[in-house]
């Protein structure tokens, strides 16, 4: 029995399509793996940068405290940086005071509201009757 030429051609086309799909899947898998590797590298880079920033911030704060205490004298070139830090610190303190004032106002308003809701205080003594 000879194989039907139409079936053989169809089978060949199916096999070619399957092989092409396999090749595309392998290429796609490679691209996904490379992308995942780049994402891991970026995440690691971000983590290292944050660690460096944290260390620099701690160093700067430590140096600033020593300068404020008079235990460390910075070279002249650092004057603008020192003034910028002092200015930022003053702004932060002023902002903290504003927040404190807002919180205090909120507490006072809540207290007044609670007093209003409670109504007049009951002394426990009967009120005087008015003459008729």
112 by Cβ neighbours in 10 Å (0-12 / 13-18 / 19+) ranks as exposed
pTM over 0.85, yes/no? no
| pLDDT score at 120 | 63
Instruction: Print the SS3 string covering 73-86.
Output: CCCHHHHHHHHHHH
| pLDDT score at 4 | 79
Pick from 95, 90, 87, 86: which is nearest to 65 by CA? 86
Point out the residues of the chain with pLDDT beneath 50: none
């Amino acid at each position: 029995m000879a194989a039907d030429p139409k079936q053989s051609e169809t089978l060949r086309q199916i096999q070619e399509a399957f092989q092409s799909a396999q090749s595309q899947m392998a290429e796609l898998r490679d691209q996904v793996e490379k992308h995942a590797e780049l994402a891991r590298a970026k995440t690691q880079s971000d983590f290292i940068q944050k660690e460096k920033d944290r260390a620099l911030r701690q160093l700067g704060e430590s140096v600033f405290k020593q300068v404020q205490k008079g235990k460390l004298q910075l070279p002249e070139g650092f004057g603008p940086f020192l003034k910028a830090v002092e200015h930022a610190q003053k702004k932060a303190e002023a902002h903290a005071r504003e927040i404190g004032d807002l919180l205090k106002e909120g507490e006072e308003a809540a207290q007044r509201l609670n007093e209003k809701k409670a109504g007049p205080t009951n002394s426990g003594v009967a009120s005087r009757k008015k003459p008729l």
